[in-house]
């Protein structure tokens, strides 16, 4: 991993502190500095946040970047270029100007600040992943480079659920605890509280209907996913007539039995008594019980775990192909082969970034393709959502219930460096691809399993979606609209879980001489709880969203203005009768920290978004697609996002119908 890498964490942003904590977990030697260290820099990597540094420190940072002797990673709010260059924005202000805040909250309420510093946490994870990639390049090629990561880019990258509507020139609004493309998906009242229920397939919908016994659910208005989304108000009311007859536990257990994701809203303070958290993190739970949640409580748990892939020491690791790859032109991961078996967001996010960094990624899909391909809006039968999450991959359709297709997968894995999947725990093992079997196939493989609750879990049969994990990981408890828990508009648990997996994989790949196979486990609930504990122990500045005639503005408290004073200032400046731009100008003139709350559909006309985040790619037929750049910039070996996959290919022993890749795929006819 990063053993022996010396890192200086020199910056006041939370992303610097969080990143240093994660880098320590990955084996690095980390030194923290509050001020510019005297003397020379005896470090391999220096992590800074120049936008909130003093002028003299910014000069020193510029000199370090120019010298080219260290990997220098700079975390800023908006980057060194563009109209907002140098903006000393807080996490909440970035949530506001990026559109992230406007996606969180209820449809008829105000935008809600995410209750954890989401953009700082996301930046910390991308920082660590990109540092690991840069360390790999330095070890292979002797090249030190600079890395720039922006909070704005991290925020915009999290909008993959909402940007498709903007691409289709539709207005994007808040959906509360719903999903804009799936239904039923919401928080429903029970006899003693609330239950989150999430469905995404027709099979799950049929199962809910079968146990709910509500005749009106058979109405033709709910026959298709599109129809259910269009009639979601009526649908949710009918679902609640069923859930309200059960306790939360009864409803959770029933949903678990039929394979539908569901769970209660857990408070951060209640994490220590939540069965799965307590089982997996007994020490952290005991400390919370004894001392409450403090500033360092989050450090008592890790967001990833690693173990040997197999205990069979007689298995000989195969020779690695990566050692023969000496050109860095194709990216930090040139020569690395990845198999991805995933859907929706989490594992696909990992595969997308590994591909952007130069790896050859093969995505395994069901025979009919991933369900998310058919979501709307999109073009040519493929959703914008799928395109955003699966750039630069080869896609392959396999029916893993068939012996021949499992044999094809086995061949791929024998020549792979990484396998990443987000299936239910044990699903691959049932198909003959458990840890021991994978170790026999490829003793050098990095196998990363991402699941909602982990392999060793109090809920071994419970499926999980992002919203359920947000509820059961404490994120919804900290994020509230008018006092009611509400999920992050973005798929926060999915995204942060994928980022944790990306970090762990890249930390392992940072050692080109690595030989032993490794099993990496990511529990999305672990990651969510880690974030919630950090936020609870390290509270952010408070603020309020204030309505204007064309939207909202975000006002942030400071030593002069508490929340009550902010509200008074907004009334005094008559913000309700002003545009956002005029309101911000009036408030700033009055000494109040204020920024506009952008809508996602407005990003398409935002110069910084167009220049730094949005890009265009082609698919195999030559059609153009809007895609997102990665939010980290490596100066010498940049990550590149270039292509959108077409229909999944088929694996063929006979390749007469096309030109196969090294892994023997030809396009489906």
Residues carrying an active site annotation: 494
Sequence-distant (≥ 6) Cβ neighbours of residue 562 within 8 angstroms: 542
Report the Cα 313 to chain-centroid distance in Å: 35
DSSP state of 523: E
Tell me the two tokens of residue 182: 């799936």
User: How far is 31 from 10, CA to CA, in rounded Å?
Assistant: 8
Sequence-distant (≥ 6) Cβ neighbours of residue 48 within 8 angstroms: 10, 11, 16, 57, 61, 64, 72, 73, 74, 75
Selection from 444, 416, 428, 418 nearest residue 315 by Cα = 444
Helix (H) or strand (E) holding 632: strand 632-634
The SS3 assignment for 511 reads coil
The 3 state secondary structure assigned to 201-221 is: CHHHHHHHHHHHCCHHHHCHH
- Asked whether the beta carbons of 365 and 397 are under 8 A apart, the reply is yes
The SS3 assignment for 363 reads strand
Would you call the peptide bond into 377 cis, given omega within 30 degrees of 0 as the criterion? yes
Tell me the two tokens of residue 410: 């086995």
The SS3 assignment for 332 reads coil
Per residue in 195-223, is it b (16+ CB within 10 Å) or e — as a string? bbbbbbeeebbebbbeebeeeebeeeebe
Which phi and psi (to 5°) does residue 286 adopt? -65, -40
Helix, strand and coil percent figures for the chain, each rounded to 5: 40, 15, 40
Would you call the peptide bond into 184 cis, given omega within 30 degrees of 0 as the criterion? yes
Q: Describe the strand order of the beta sheet including 29-32 as a list of residue ranges.
A: 29-32, 6-10, 45-48, 71-76, 146-150, 632-634
- Asked whether the beta carbons of 412 and 338 are under 8 A apart, the reply is no
- Asked whether the beta carbons of 98 and 155 are under 8 A apart, the reply is yes
Residue 366: C-alpha distances to residues 207, 395, 647 (Å): 21, 10, 12
- Asked whether the beta carbons of 194 and 265 are under 8 A apart, the reply is yes
Tell me the two tokens of residue 29: 């030697």
Helix (H) or strand (E) holding 290: helix 282-291
**CA 200, 345, 449, 523 torsion: positive or negative?**
negative
The SS3 assignment for 126 reads helix
User: How far is 224 from 230, CA to CA, in rounded Å?
Assistant: 10
The SS3 assignment for 480 reads strand
Residue 153: C-alpha distances to residues 103, 158, 333, 367, 370 (Å): 16, 9, 22, 35, 27
Which phi and psi (to 5°) does residue 283 adopt? -65, -45
């Amino acid at each position: 991993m990063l053993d022996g890498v010396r890192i200086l964490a020199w910056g006041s942003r939370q992303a610097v502190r969080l990143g240093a904590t994660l880098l320590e977990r990955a084996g690095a030697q980390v030194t923290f500095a509050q001020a510019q260290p005297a003397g020379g820099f005896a470090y391999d990597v220096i992590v800074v946040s120049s936008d909130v540094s003093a002028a003299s420190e910014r000069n020193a940072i510029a000199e370090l970047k120019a010298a080219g002797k260290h990997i220098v990673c700079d975390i800023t709010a908006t980057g060194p270029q563009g109209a907002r260059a140098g903006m000393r924005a807080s996490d909440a202000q970035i949530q506001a100007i990026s559109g992230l805040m406007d996606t969180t909250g209820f449809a008829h309420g105000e935008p809600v600040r995410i209750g954890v510093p989401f953009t700082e946490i996301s930046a910390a994870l991308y920082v660590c992943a990109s540092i690991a990639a840069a360390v790999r390049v330095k070890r292979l090629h002797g090249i030190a480079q600079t890395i720039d990561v922006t909070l704005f880019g991290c925020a915009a990258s999290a909008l993959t659920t909402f940007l498709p509507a903007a691409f289709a020139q539709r207005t994007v609004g808040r959906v509360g605890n719903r999903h804009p493309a799936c239904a039923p998906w919401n928080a429903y009242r029970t006899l003693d509280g609330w239950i989150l229920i999430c469905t995404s397939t027709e099979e799950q919908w049929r199962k809910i209907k079968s146990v709910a016994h509500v005749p009106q659910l058979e109405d033709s208005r709910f026959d298709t996913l599109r129809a259910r989304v269009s009639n979601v108000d009526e649908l949710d009311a009918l679902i609640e007539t069923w859930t309200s007859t059960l306790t939360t536990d009864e409803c959770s257990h029933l949903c678990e039995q039929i394979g539908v994701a569901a769970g209660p809203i857990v408070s951060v303070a209640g994490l220590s008594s939540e069965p799965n958290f307590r089982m997996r993190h007994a020490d952290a739970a005991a400390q919370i019980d004894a001392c409450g949640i403090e500033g360092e409580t989050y450090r008592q748990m890790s967001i990833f775990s690693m173990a040997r892939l197999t205990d069979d020491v007689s298995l000989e690791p195969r020779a690695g192909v990566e050692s023969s790859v000496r050109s860095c032109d194709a990216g930090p991961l040139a020569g690395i082969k990845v198999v991805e078996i995933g859907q929706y967001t989490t594992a696909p996010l990992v595969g997308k970034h590994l591909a952007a960094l130069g790896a050859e990624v093969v995505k395994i899909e069901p025979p009919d393709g991933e369900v998310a391909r058919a979501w709307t809006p999109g073009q040519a039968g493929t959703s914008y959502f799928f395109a955003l999450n699966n750039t630069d991959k080869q896609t392959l359709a396999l029916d893993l219930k068939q012996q021949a297709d499992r044999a094809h997968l086995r061949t791929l894995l024998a020549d792979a460096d990484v396998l990443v999947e987000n299936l239910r725990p044990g699903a691959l093992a049932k198909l003959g691809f458990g840890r021991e079997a994978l170790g026999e196939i490829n003793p050098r493989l990095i196998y990363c399993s991402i699941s909602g609750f982990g392999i060793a879990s109090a809920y071994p049969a419970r499926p999980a979606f992002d919203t359920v994990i947000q509820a059961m990981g404490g994120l919804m408890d900290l994020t509230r609209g008018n006092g009611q828990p509400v999920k992050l508009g973005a798929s926060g648990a999915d995204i942060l879980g994928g980022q944790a997996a990306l970090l762990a994989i890249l930390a392992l790949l940072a050692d080109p001489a690595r030989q032993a196979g490794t099993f990496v486990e990511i529990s999305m609930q672990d990651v969510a709880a880690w974030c919630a504990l950090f936020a609870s122990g390290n509270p952010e500045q408070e603020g309020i969203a204030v309505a204007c005639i064309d939207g909202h503005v975000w006002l942030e408290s400071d030593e002069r203005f508490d929340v009550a004073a902010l509200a008074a200032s907004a009334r005094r400046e008559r913000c309700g009768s002003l545009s956002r731009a005029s309101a911000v100008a009036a408030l700033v003139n009055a000494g109040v920290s204020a920024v506009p709350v952008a809508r996602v559909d407005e990003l398409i006309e935002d110069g910084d978004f167009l220049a730094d985040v949005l890009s265009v790619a082609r698919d195999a037929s030559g059609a153009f697609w809007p895609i997102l750049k990665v939010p980290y910039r490596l100066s010498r070996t940049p990550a590149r996002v270039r292509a959108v996959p077409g229909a999944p290919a088929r694996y063929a022993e006979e390749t007469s119908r096309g030109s196969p890749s090294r892994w023997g795929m030809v396009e489906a006819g």
